[in-house]
Structure 1
Amino acid sequence: MTERHARRPELGHAAQLRRVMARYQSLVSEQAGDWEAFIAALQRPLPACIWAHPQRTDVAELQALIIAEEGGELPGLARDPWSPLALRLPVDFKAGQRWWYCAGLAHAQEAASQVPVWLLDVHPGQRVLDLCAAPGGKTAQIALALGNRGTLLANDFARERIAALQGNLDRLGIVNVSTTWGDGGNYPAAAGAFDRILVDAPCSSEGTLRRHRSLAARLDPDTLATNARLHGRQLALLRKAVQLCRAGGRILYSTCTFAPEENECIVAQVLEEQAGRLRLLPARLPGLAGRPGLTAWGGRTLDASLANCLRLWPHHTDTGGFFVAVMEKTPDAPQLEPGDTAVLDAGVDDECWLPALAEHYGWPETIWSGLRVQRQTRRGLHLLAADHEPPAQPSAQGRGLFFHRTNIRPPKLTTAGALLFGAQATRQVMELSQEQRDAYLRRASVTPRPQQWADCRPGQVIVRYRGHPLGVALLTRSRTLESLFPSRWSGCAGRS
């Protein structure tokens, strides 16, 4: 901290916001009162937001489930008009502590953060790269937009964040993702070309002020325009995306900051460098009250097409701040040659585990359709989409979903595997009461009623609540049900 900053007197939160946001006053003041509305919005806590897992439920069922679980209507519970999957929730609502979150029926993700993937316009059969993927909300959105099939690469610069990313993908049953670790700005061209690329770039994070109140005291508006290291990284990421995008493909660049130096100015520079081989598409969603991108800033006139960008201001959308630019590479632009594909053959004995698993839980033989098995570690087997074709380079940190642990006796279906396939089980499956559900999620033992275990033999069983799988438990010979819910997930059940 500089001496000048150390001597700055303590300010109230509103005064701090006015100080660090002052450079944007002319941008938000379209009408009388807009500036004060903007400052007031930044002082309000951010509503919670979730999206429904489209392969496990729909938004109407999820909304009804939440109302039933909470004992009636919740103030603030509402659908977002621009998203068919999103639900707004009260500010203090802890979605991660509800059973349906543990069961992977939904994912918590700030409303503004959900916008980029909708504008990326992903379709099954496309090859997609998420260059800055952790903690994985957008990655999961993309994976499901692909139908949980095909090829999605999720990269992040921070190795420790990849574990959190993988945890989210496992809970949601994602099998079409390979994760990679490294600087996205140096992503190897050997990976080949992609149809869609998301660059949710690291930024100064001003748009998160509603979630991170203390950020206002740390922001320095004097350095936003001159942060060469940050701007250089953003440029490198977007340039790399242009290189890796196939001709005719789409790139989405987004940040959670208001700073034009990190938004329109970055896009403008890359557009100029591409000399017509890259064009901006309109970034608009019906029902979303966004504003156009800037075409002038700091005395500089920018390309008029930058108005096609999207800005989300908190006082207009009741979200965090966000910026989105959607770019299309022209059909005549140069593109990379196809790269080598990684070898994903199963081991000689790996597929032999599948018939026994299917027999144990009464799954149909077709349950493995469209999937393949691969042993990536000694611990057990991963499940991947059969048409998942990641490149040989860069090497993957992980692929698909860890679903069957084979290095223990007896072998065990993982919780992620149970969430993925448990709804189709016809044997060794037990429906729990609400009280039993909460005990199971707390990793406590349960004493089921005779009618609950009548069709189960001692051993591993899949437990469900209201037909939705929660995980795996061990039914003992004394008919006690021992929870095998993973300890690292037990925070899901904190409210219970």
Structure 2
Amino acid sequence: MSRYAVGAAAVRDYCARYRDLIDDWPAFAEVIVAPLPTCIWANPARISAAGLSDLLAGEGLVSQPMGWQPTGLRLAAGVRAGRHWWYCAGLAHAQEEASQLPVTLLDLAPGQRVLDLCAAPGGKTAQIAFALDNRGTLLANDFAPERIKALVGNLDRLGVVNAAVTCHDGANYPTAAGQFDRVLADVPCTSEGTLRRNPDQVRRLEGQPSERLAARQRALLRKAVQRCRPGGRVLYSTCTFAPEENEFVVADILAELDGRLNLLPLQVPGLTTAPGVTDWRGRRLDPALEQCLRLWPHQNDTGGFFVALLEKDRTLPCEPDAVVAAAEIEPGDREWLEWTNARFGLSSEAWSAWRIHRQTRRGLHLIAADLAAPAHPRPEGRGLFFQRTNVRPTKLTTAGALLFGPHAQCHRLELDAAQRDAFLGRKTLTPAPAQVRDLTPGQVLVTYRGFALGLAVWHRSGELESLFPRRWSGCTAGSDDAD
């Protein structure tokens, strides 16, 4: 028997505990060991889903629209999105289809104040940011410092400027942060719904009963409700099948709050879903728990997911507003922008929706003009690190170059496909004379098919030195995030 066959048998054996909950066990058993399609969503700030689909077709990649998710596209299983130039350019983010469901159901709109309680690696956070039109206040929190780096990296690549990142225990998120119109609690779980992506994890799951995580999940949902404004909404989600981590957790919090929290019905046109479980291993729940939503892998050829949408009683008293952290600048900070404006022909209109502020000695951050992050918990970062001032001459970061690329009027250098790959691989290249006819030596914004890729230095020798970040080189950063 092959190693794959042994793994497939182990996955099916493990999932057999849910056999009575699944409407079509043979279909489930077949799909749960099949490769998962690659799914991405188009960054609405940079390209439409139709435009991205056409671009992919030109690269020889066939894509299909998701239908229920307007910016989402399906690619063939095995496509490594993170290894492609369009991913590095922040035109798209790789995120499993089922994982794109929670943000779609949050009923987001510009002007809302939103908390993503367990945010890393950042795909859902970025979805929220763009649903808010990249304006206003979004707090992206995660408990693990090592995951914050991936979170910030994804937000920078995609050009998110309305988020403040905090590193705090979500179950004890401070009252000083204020209350929010929407809270996403996509909590840590046993991740059974991701077995198609990583079947080897079944060995870990066999020794990790769901009950062990339930207390933590209840604490996170409880805090999410506390941080929600009266009349606001909390979305609780997991990527696991276990009722102990899903319906049981929701039922326990509903009972604790005794009428101060309402479970809302859910449906997603274009997506086949199942209702919440109300009878499992001797525990019967209120029939209202059927209003939760389950996504079984065989229904839409996805991973597995669970979602519950809760609304807080609007007659409850509101808490005081949070004290806002100051967005400080130092004398002379605005002068750094003059060089950048002059070099790349940026107009004052390019800055109209943003504010600059200094977080570190390294340089300047850009935030949405109306971002009002709380002073506590202290933000690890706000907005996007866009310009280094600790070097001479000052220079845009790669994230800054991606953001400002569409606004630049001069010192843009369009590459061909071979040059693009050399640039992304941090190799030195020599552009043709026609490509550099309108350039003067120094920093240039590098583009491909009109989309910004980053920053380079064109030397008097005729060579182009790539400044693409070493940690992004090869376009592998974040390529495997299911998020």
TM range (shorter): over 0.9
* Conservation of the 8 A alpha-carbon contact between 1:245 and 1:335: no
Q: Does structure 1 residue 181 correspond to structure 2 residue 171?
A: no
The 3-state SS of whatever aligns with 1:26 is helix
Hey, what does 1:151 align to over in structure 2? Answer: 137
Q: 1:287 aligns with which of 270, 278, 285?
A: 270
Between the aligned partners of 1:11 and 1:456, the Cα distance in structure 2 is 59
Q: Does structure 1 residue 352 correspond to structure 2 residue 335?
A: yes
Hey, what does 1:255 align to over in structure 2? Answer: 238
The 3-state SS of whatever aligns with 2:118 is coil
* Conservation of the 8 A alpha-carbon contact between 2:12 and 2:32: no
- Identity among equivalent pairs (%): 58
Between the aligned partners of 1:40 and 1:224, the Cα distance in structure 2 is 24
Q: Does structure 1 residue 47 correspond to structure 2 residue 37?
A: yes
Distance change >3 Å, CA 493–CA 302, structure 1 → 2: closer
The 5 A counterparts of 1:51-200 are: 51-70=41-60, 74=62, 77-200=63-186
RMSD: 1.6
Hey, what does 1:12 align to over in structure 2? Answer: 6
Letter in structure 1 aligned against 2:123: G
Q: Does structure 1 residue 426 correspond to structure 2 residue 409?
A: yes
The 3-state SS of whatever aligns with 1:129 is strand
Hey, what does 2:211 align to over in structure 1? Answer: 226
**Distance apart, 1:40 and its partner CA:** 1.1
* Conservation of the 8 A alpha-carbon contact between 1:143 and 1:174: yes
Between the aligned partners of 2:11 and 2:46, the Cα distance in structure 1 is 41
The alignment's TM-score, normalised by the length of structure 2, stands at 0.96
**Distance apart, 1:15 and its partner CA:** 3.0
Q: 5+ unaligned residues in a row in structure 2: which ranges?
A: none
Hey, what does 1:4 align to over in structure 2? Answer: none
Hey, what does 2:318 align to over in structure 1? Answer: 335
Between the aligned partners of 1:403 and 1:160, the Cα distance in structure 2 is 22
Between the aligned partners of 1:475 and 1:345, the Cα distance in structure 2 is 34
* Conservation of the 8 A alpha-carbon contact between 2:188 and 2:238: yes
**Distance apart, 1:11 and its partner CA:** 8.9
* Conservation of the 8 A alpha-carbon contact between 1:195 and 1:245: yes
Between the aligned partners of 2:469 and 2:9, the Cα distance in structure 1 is 45
Letter in structure 1 aligned against 2:25: W
The 3-state SS of whatever aligns with 2:222 is helix
* Conservation of the 8 A alpha-carbon contact between 1:14 and 1:39: no
The 3-state SS of whatever aligns with 1:49 is strand
Hey, what does 2:307 align to over in structure 1? Answer: 324
Hey, what does 1:6 align to over in structure 2? Answer: none
The 3-state SS of whatever aligns with 1:224 is coil
Residue deviations 1:274-319, cap 9 Å, x none? 1111111122211011111112222222122211111000011211
Letter in structure 1 aligned against 2:11: L
Residue deviations 1:248-277, cap 9 Å, x none? 101000000000000000000111111111
**Distance apart, 1:94 and its partner CA:** 0.9
The 3-state SS of whatever aligns with 2:299 is helix
Between the aligned partners of 2:439 and 2:338, the Cα distance in structure 1 is 19
Letter in structure 1 aligned against 2:209: L
The 3-state SS of whatever aligns with 2:341 is helix
Letter in structure 2 aligned against 1:407: N
* Conservation of the 8 A alpha-carbon contact between 1:444 and 1:482: yes
Between the aligned partners of 1:184 and 1:314, the Cα distance in structure 2 is 29
**Distance apart, 1:461 and its partner CA:** 0.5
* Conservation of the 8 A alpha-carbon contact between 1:196 and 1:245: yes
The 3-state SS of whatever aligns with 1:152 is strand
Between the aligned partners of 1:410 and 1:143, the Cα distance in structure 2 is 32
Distance change >3 Å, CA 61–CA 490, structure 1 → 2: same
Q: Does structure 1 residue 398 correspond to structure 2 residue 365?
A: no
Q: 1:24 aligns with which of 18, 32, 38?
A: 18
Between the aligned partners of 2:446 and 2:206, the Cα distance in structure 1 is 52
The 3-state SS of whatever aligns with 1:195 is strand
Between the aligned partners of 2:29 and 2:237, the Cα distance in structure 1 is 23
Residue deviations 1:109-159, cap 9 Å, x none? 000000000001111110000000000000000011111111101110100
Between the aligned partners of 2:163 and 2:218, the Cα distance in structure 1 is 26
Q: 5+ unaligned residues in a row in structure 1: which ranges?
A: 1-9
Aligned length: 475
Q: Does structure 1 residue 371 correspond to structure 2 residue 354?
A: yes
Residue deviations 1:320-378, cap 9 Å, x none? 11000011111112332212111113222212222221111011111110211111111
Hey, what does 2:280 align to over in structure 1? Answer: 297
* Conservation of the 8 A alpha-carbon contact between 2:11 and 2:199: no
Between the aligned partners of 1:374 and 1:27, the Cα distance in structure 2 is 53
Hey, what does 1:267 align to over in structure 2? Answer: 250
* Conservation of the 8 A alpha-carbon contact between 1:152 and 1:176: yes
Hey, what does 1:456 align to over in structure 2? Answer: 439
Between the aligned partners of 2:48 and 2:298, the Cα distance in structure 1 is 29
* Conservation of the 8 A alpha-carbon contact between 1:443 and 1:483: yes
* Conservation of the 8 A alpha-carbon contact between 1:373 and 1:384: yes
Between the aligned partners of 2:243 and 2:440, the Cα distance in structure 1 is 63
Between the aligned partners of 2:173 and 2:210, the Cα distance in structure 1 is 27
Between the aligned partners of 2:274 and 2:302, the Cα distance in structure 1 is 13
Between the aligned partners of 1:131 and 1:196, the Cα distance in structure 2 is 11
**Distance apart, 1:18 and its partner CA:** 3.3
Hey, what does 2:294 align to over in structure 1? Answer: 311
Between the aligned partners of 2:142 and 2:474, the Cα distance in structure 1 is 25
Letter in structure 2 aligned against 1:224: P
Distance change >3 Å, CA 46–CA 174, structure 1 → 2: same
